[in-house]
Structure formats: C-alpha cells, structure tokens
Amino acid sequence: MFLGLLIRPMSAIGQQLIEVLHYYTGKNNGRIWLAPLVLAERGFSKNTATRALKELREHGFIYMTKRGGNQRGGCSWFALTWLKIDKAEGQHLEHFKKSAYLFWESQSKKIKGSNFGTCYPKIGVLLGDDPQSYEPKEISINTNAPLNFNEQIPNLVTYKDIAIYTARNNLIH
C-alpha cells in the first residue's frame, strides 16, 4: 500500500521512522520492539525516537500492544495497523482499530468553534473515539451571590486551568 499521501501531515521525524519499520519480519506484527534505545542503533536520539513513536501512534500508523519500560521489564510491543496482528500472550488489543491512520484528522478539524465559556475534551482524543460524540459543557455562574461573597471564600485565580490560592492579592508559590 502506498502511504506517501497519508504521512504528509506528519513531521520529518515521523516520516523517517516509517523507514525504521523494517523490524517487521512477517510473523511478529503486534510484537515489534520499537524502544528508543533500539532506535538509537538507527541514529535516533532518545527524545527524537520518543516523539516519533508518539506521533506515529497519534496518526494511527502503529498501535502499542504491550507497554514496556524499566518497571515492567522489557520493551513496548507495537503493531502496524494496516497489517493483520499476529496474536501473542500479553497483548492488549481492546482499542486496536485496523488501518486507524485512515480515520486520523487534525485536532483543529475535530473541535470547532470558540472555547470561551465551554469545556472541551483533552487534546489527543483516543483513536476510535467519535469526536462528534463530545458535547461542550456550559459553565454557569451564580449571579445571585451575596454582597460579602469575597469574604466568605478564599480568593482563587486560575493559570492554565490550575486553581491557585491568593492571600491578600499576593500569589503563594
């Protein structure tokens, strides 16, 4: 299958990593080891490899079938989404979607309209979820608050959706 048009929206890093998928042997789809340290053999730094793997997952080209890492003892396993998975013990295929890259669209297309006064789902909606099923939630403000409202509760301000307590209008760090 020609993937040239489908990888266009990806960065050069993600496009280069497509070439690294030679680790597929024909019998190990779902058990392909793509750890940053393994990719270092191909000239990728750990950070570059991590970003590229994340981008390939977000765009639906690969699917993590088993999470690895130092605490779990082993590399993460991946599957190429356009091929049949060779099932093995320890794989998690609950959210696998064949050819998921065909359903990818940018976040700017998924969430339309102004975000002023509404709450939207976290950026990076899982593949397979229908973005149309998310309904914005209106934020209501009580306009009937008592006159001494500010004296009854501590002053709170928000920065990047994190509540911060202020005392006498000075931020506490």
Beta strands in the chain (DSSP E): 32-33, 62-66, 77-80, 118-119, 137-138, 155-159, 162-167, 170-171
Q: What's the CA gap between 141 and 38, in Å, rounded? A: 53
With 0.95 as the threshold, say if the pTM is over it: no
| Residue 88 confidence (pLDDT) | 86
The residue behind tokens 């003892």 is 73
- Please name each of the domains of the chain with its CATH number: 12-103 (1.10.10), 107-171 (no CATH)
| Residue 17 confidence (pLDDT) | 63
| Residue 102 confidence (pLDDT) | 82
Q: In the chain, which stretches have pLDDT less than 50?
A: 1-2, 4-5, 114-128, 139-140, 149-155, 165, 168-173
Spatial strand order of the sheet with 170-171 comes to 155-159, 162-167, 170-171
Whose CA is closest to 131, among 169, 167, 104? 104
172 phi and psi angles, rounded to 5 deg = -95, 125
| Residue 27 confidence (pLDDT) | 92
Using CB atoms within 10 Å of the CB of residue 17, give its burial: 0 to 12 exposed, 13 to 18 middle, 19+ buried.
Answer: buried
Query: Could you tell me the CA-to-CA distances from 40 to 25, 44, 48, 58, 73 in Å, in that order?
Result: 20, 5, 9, 21, 19
